[in-house]
Structure 1
Amino acid sequence: MYRKGFVRLQRGMEALCTLAFVAIFGISLLGIVMRYVFSMPLVWTDELAMVLLLWVVLLTDGLLLSDREQVRFDVVYDLCGPRGRRGIGLLASLAIGVTFLVSLPTIYDYVAFLWRERTSVLDWRLDAVFSCFVVYWVAVIVRAVIQFWQLLRPDWRERVADDAPEENSNILG
């Protein structure tokens, strides 16, 4: 039951990020057409496109991409057997999780501090603009904890198996 709800939530997030990416393209195109065809530049288009891009990149990476879809340097990992892969995975998830967890208060404090500043054109508070960074930071910590826990479980071999990435793993594929 929870899995079904989680899949629906994930599909909704995928659709939302896809629409935001389409909006970035449309907003950029509108800005170009207004500037170069009509000689009436719209100053807000660049700022809105950048804010949307920031949100799309951080939320997609933090909440949607699976470990197999992440860009990694896994040359050594691929050369190792299951026990070596488990060790690398445990060490990597521990290092990433601890590093992000220790730095989380500083990240949160800085984003909270940004309430004093606003964007130059749309006049949006910067703490709201950069709040997606805190969501991303927490998502990385949660994913590291989950990966660490999965590698400690008795069925850890399934986690390090040589599986190909899932076909059609998103709504575009």
Structure 2
Amino acid sequence: MTHPSPLVRRLRDLADAVPAILLATMFLCFIVQVFMRYVINSPVGWTVEVCVIAWLWILLWGQSVSAEEGDEIRFDIVYGSVRPETRRWFRMIFSVLLVGIYAWSLPALWDFVTFMKIQETAYLDIGFNWVYSIALVFSVVSILRYLWIFRNALTGRDTGLSTAEEIGLEEFSE
């Protein structure tokens, strides 16, 4: 197994920091909202807006950019009970299906995101095209991720981690 270069590791660390920073921002906004509502008795709405936008970005950024295939939680009764060669075929088939779905929906998603520039958020006046631009990142990165999974499955380079034994959790599978 090759080790990533220092640049790749640094970029990975930065990508992983984005959801953490957004979660910290959500927490600070929550504290500000509680303070303003219950101490100052003057609630503010922008904190809710920041929390909703941050949550959307955490979910889509985290799943597409930060998460790795081994991080995903799956209900894999069928997948875990078949031979490794069959699992490889499953990964190839599902990769093709997911790439097809994301690629097919990408033009409509682009139209939606670019159309949303006509509307802004209520408190912060951020264009909704910026708010929803993360959906484009999610789709493009997901397409690239599943093309990579397909390539690795096709060439036999991946392990297809899913069973407890393969990821070192054999003591939990008894």
Q: TM-score under structure 2 normalisation? A: 0.87
Give the conservation status (yes or no) of the 8 Å contact 1:90–1:151.
yes
State the partner residue of 2:13: 11
TM-aligned CA deviation for residue 17 of structure 1: 2.0
State the partner residue of 1:47: 49
Task: For 1:83-98, list aligned pairs within 5 A.
Answer: 83-98=85-100
TM-aligned CA deviation for residue 161 of structure 1: 7.5
Residue identity opposite 1:100 in structure 2: Y
CA distance in 1, matches of 2:168, 2:53: 30
Q: TM-score under structure 1 normalisation? A: 0.88
Give the conservation status (yes or no) of the 8 Å contact 2:70–2:162.
no
Residue identity opposite 1:136 in structure 2: F
State the partner residue of 1:31: 33
Secondary structure in structure 1 of the residue aligned to 2:5: helix
CA distance in 2, matches of 1:165, 1:45: 42
Q: 1:152 to 1:28 in 2, by over 3 A?
A: same
Secondary structure in structure 1 of the residue aligned to 2:75: coil
Task: For 1:24-173, list aligned pairs within 5 A.
Answer: 24-156=26-158, 158-159=159-160, 162=163, 163-164=166-167
TM-aligned CA deviation for residue 54 of structure 1: 1.1
Residue identity opposite 1:3 in structure 2: S
Residue identity opposite 1:107 in structure 2: L
CA distance in 2, matches of 1:75, 1:26: 41
Flag structure 1 segments of 5+ consecutive residues without an equivalent: 167-173
Give the conservation status (yes or no) of the 8 Å contact 2:161–2:167.
no
Spell out, residue by residue over 1:75-115, the C-alpha distance to the aligned partner (whole angstroms, 9 max, x if none): 11000111110111111111111111111111111111001
TM-aligned CA deviation for residue 160 of structure 1: 5.1
The aligned length equals 165
CA distance in 2, matches of 1:23, 1:161: 33
CA distance in 1, matches of 2:162, 2:50: 42
CA distance in 2, matches of 1:92, 1:61: 17
Residue identity opposite 2:133 in structure 1: S
Q: CA RMSD in A?
A: 1.9
Give aligned-pair identity as a percent.
25
Residue identity opposite 1:96 in structure 2: L
Flag structure 2 segments of 5+ consecutive residues without an equivalent: 170-174
Q: 1:123 to 1:159 in 2, by over 3 A?
A: same
